[in-house]
Amino acid sequence: MTSPNPTGVVELFVLQASDYIEQLDGVLNAAGNSGADGEALARGARMLRGSATMTKLPGVAEVAAGIERVGRALREGTLLWEPGLRSALTSAVDDLKVLVHGVRAWGPSEDQRAQARSSELARYAPQLARSNTPSAAAGGSAFLANEAAEIAVSLDQFLAHPGDSALLGGLLARVRGLRGVAATRDLPPLADVVDALDRAGKPLELTSNPVPTPQQLALFQAASTLLRRAAIELRSIGRPDPASPEVQRFTAAAAALDEATAESAPIVPIADLFYADNGPHLVDTAPNPPTTPSQRFRLEAVSQAEHLLRLVSEAQVAADIAGRDRLSRELRGALRALGAAADSFGERDVSAWIARMAPAVAALEPSALGAMRQVSALLADPNSRSDQLAQQLAGLRGAPSSVAAPAPAMAPHAAPAPSPMLPNVRRSTRTPTGRDLAALLDTGISALGARLTQRPLSAAVPIVDEQLVPIESLLFRGRAALDRARALGSQVRGAARTPSPDELSEIYDLLELAATE
């Protein structure tokens, strides 16, 4: 039979499944006389099973489920490693490579191959009466319910032993596996839960002896409770309740963690670090500085403004409580960083405007989001002129009454204007990494080819010489997104290493954009 999935979905599956199969191949190649790593084997097979289930390819999912059962049995010590088992696993992984590359024209021969491998694996690890492997009829909700319940169990185990690095690694592996499933975005608040868990776990993952803070522990506890309820609702009604009390407790815990880890130190001009005498000093002023403070601010603001554009775009369509709460927190942090940068570079008009608009933007008021989007579009373009920005800010002076006074928490740090002869130094600010950084790079590159055909964001906004940049034009679409995903996939495979979750997430996002056209 021919695959019922759209071309973009199939291409996405082939890319991510190939990576999972390479991981399984690596586990088997590294297996010595004592046997393969059962945990790694089960983890890779579980991610492949989930991807195949979401793509409605039950044949691949059944073979992956057989490998997953073998991995669990090896991990638990109920199955012994012996040459016959190794041969069966090697054959199964080899046949998975053939099956994955044949999903575009699936037929009876593929069904027969998948059934044969599933049956062979079942002789070593029989399928229980209640299997964790969802069938094609069960759909994605059953799979997501199982994964949510498993993450909740892992959270409880880590909460019982919060210093165990192995438990933390297993938890984050499950979280990142679910984060790569596109369907979580259509079932709020799942996407926000796994995103918050990943962000909270990363600092702990980087230490050999993780010691969670009270805020991290509170987030893990709230997420465990929420995921257990979500698993029950996914099985019963097909989707979690985005307005449940568990969601509200989780959003409060996430806000407390973000507040505890927020960076508030501004950018400080080097001139402020000098004594107030005539020297001698260790650093001399440049006789002909290459850039002015205003030009350096525009360069500094590009990445921050692109980040704001993405947040504003998401905020304008967000509907669920957890998603809106997360975006509100991220917008507050992004505005705080941009306002501090503007103030440190002497851009008082920009910092004052941000401080005045910040409360309404963080409240996700539509008019404030629209104004922030227009200003961010100008700041994201390093070629736009200062007079354009000044005219844009002047045209948006009439802010809604709710934003007439700035919130005290958002008021920019007062700092003297930097010397035009000295560079600035960053003491601390938010630097995008991982998936955010990849998104910023992609949007910046794609904008170069789209500049000549863009339309202004609003006819009511005064325009001087250049048109504003709509956020939609900064995204890959259709064939361009597919080509970009293929290039990234080839780059990762050519590096001869296991791709990171951020790299996989970027490829998933590109292929989703390709599937929309």
Residue 2: which CATH number? 1.20.120.160
Residue 243 lies in a domain: yes
Asked if residue 42 lies in contact with residue 24, where contact means CB atoms within 8 angstroms, the answer is: no
Q: What is the dihedral of CA 195, 196, 199, 205, to 10 degrees?
A: -100
Same domain, 111 and 201: no
**pLDDT tens profile 464-512:** 444 454 555 555 667 777 777 777 777 766 666 667 767 777 777 777 7
Domain boundary among 127, 158, 183: 127
Residue 399 lies in a domain: yes
In this prediction, residue 89 has a pLDDT band, given cuts at 50, 70 and 90, of very high
Distance CA 70, CA 72 (A): 5
In this prediction, residue 134 has a pLDDT band, given cuts at 50, 70 and 90, of very low
Q: Which helix (H) or strand (E) holds 352?
A: helix 348-362
Asked if residue 457 lies in contact with residue 373, where contact means CB atoms within 8 angstroms, the answer is: yes
Average the pLDDT over 5-11 and give the result: 66
Higher pLDDT, 416 or 286: 286
Same domain, 308 and 444: yes
Please report the DSSP string for 69-117 in residue order: HHHHHHHHTSS---HHHHHHHHHHHHHHHHHHTTGGG--HHHHHHHHHH
Same domain, 84 and 54: yes
**pLDDT tens profile 159-205:** 999 888 888 888 888 888 887 676 787 788 888 898 889 889 988 98
Residue 456 lies in a domain: no
Give residue 310's identity as a one-letter amino acid code: R
Task: Look at residue 421 and tell me whether its pLDDT is greater than 60.
Answer: no
What was the pLDDT predicted at 271?
63
Lowest mean pLDDT among 275-289, 407-421, 495-509: 407-421
Domain boundary among 451, 469, 485: 451
Number of domains forming the structure of the chain: 3
Lowest mean pLDDT among 81-90, 122-131, 171-180: 122-131
Most confident of 235-244, 284-293, 491-500: 235-244
Domain housing 215:
139-261
Average the pLDDT over 232-260 and give the result: 86
Residue 117 lies in a domain: yes
Question: How many beta carbons lie within 10 A of that of residue 125, not counting itself?
Answer: 20
Domain boundary among 105, 127, 149: 127
